[in-house]
Every structure is written in C-alpha cells, then in structure tokens.
Amino acid sequence: MHLYFRVYRGTCSINFIILSLIPLFLATSVKATNLILYPITLNQPQSLILTQGKWQQFSSSAGKFTVSLPGKPIEDLETDDDGSVANNFTVVDGETVYLVTYSDLVKEVNRVATEEIFDAVGEGYTADGDKLVNQREVKLDEYPGRVVELNTTDGMVGKATIYLVGNRLYQLIVISPNKEIGEQFFESFRISD
C-alpha cells in the first residue's frame, strides 16, 4: 500500500491511494490553498491496509494531543529544506482513512488572522472540484477551530477539523464512503500539556 500525503507551500494536497492484492482501489484527493504547510510523503507497508482493530486511545507527547483511533497509527515525521516539520499519524480501516497531522507554523503566520488561516485551509479542500457541504466554527476548550465537510468527486465523504493552538496547526481528517464514520475520532481529540 502506498499512502501519499503531499503538502506544498501555496497548495496543500492530500492524496490517498490504497492498493492491495485483492481488487480494492481507493483514490481520494482533497486540496487546500495554504501558505503554511510543507512537503511530506508517506509510504506504508502493504500489511497496514486493513487495521480493523478495536478503538484505542493514542497519545503523542511531542504533539501534545490524545485521540481515539481504530488501530495503532503509522507515524511519519518529515523535515523540509527550510526546517519546517510535518507530523502525521495515519490509520487505514477498511475504506476509511483517519489522519491527524500537526505542524508548527512559521513566526510570520502569527501576524495572519486565525480566520484567514482557516479560510485558506477550508476553501482549499475543494480546489480539485470536491463539493463543500458544510463549514462551521468550533472550539476545543479555548482554542479556535473549524469543521469542513465535503463530498469528493469520486463519491467519498470527507470531514476535517482544524484547530489553531498557539502557533501549532492541528488537522484531523477522515475520508470514507460513509458520512456517519469518524465522530468518535473527532470527539475524542484533546490537547494535552
């Protein structure tokens, strides 16, 4: 299995391609215009295609968060040429992909309003023709956030929750054929000290 997650300065692109020996093919693409995320690529072993495990609590001390996931996440850390770091935690459960990603934004971003950051990320998810279904503001404790829901051009349902905690941007993303999947994932996310 290859799971590609590429983020470009100016454009954020999430491409999921899941291939196995059985006739399973899923390609989902979500793009976001954004000046604060950087390039990364994940390549996961074939055996991780279907986790289908019990939901379990996962904590990242470096990421300062906890979340409930349907299996043990694959962790990927990449540093860009300019020193920016993207941290990704991915679980593939059947045809559903769960992704938590965080990155520490460059200092210049502190001058950009939170709304502008959320607008850039949220609007960009539909850059490839995916249809925005809903977008709303949320809070996690005192931290601002936004929920973005969309239908992809290939019939999948996507949902992302974005939080800005200081200069750290968290994105929780679920791509699935079923819009009811993912609530446990989103509701379980907590910031830790």
Structural domain spans, the chain:
50-191
Distance of alpha carbon 4 from its chain centroid, rounded? Answer: 12
Rounded average pLDDT over 109-137: 84
Rounded average pLDDT over 126-143: 91
Q: Residue 46: is its pLDDT beyond 90?
A: no
CATH architecture of 50-191: 3-Layer(aba) Sandwich (3.40)
Q: Which residue has the higher pLDDT, 143 or 47?
A: 143
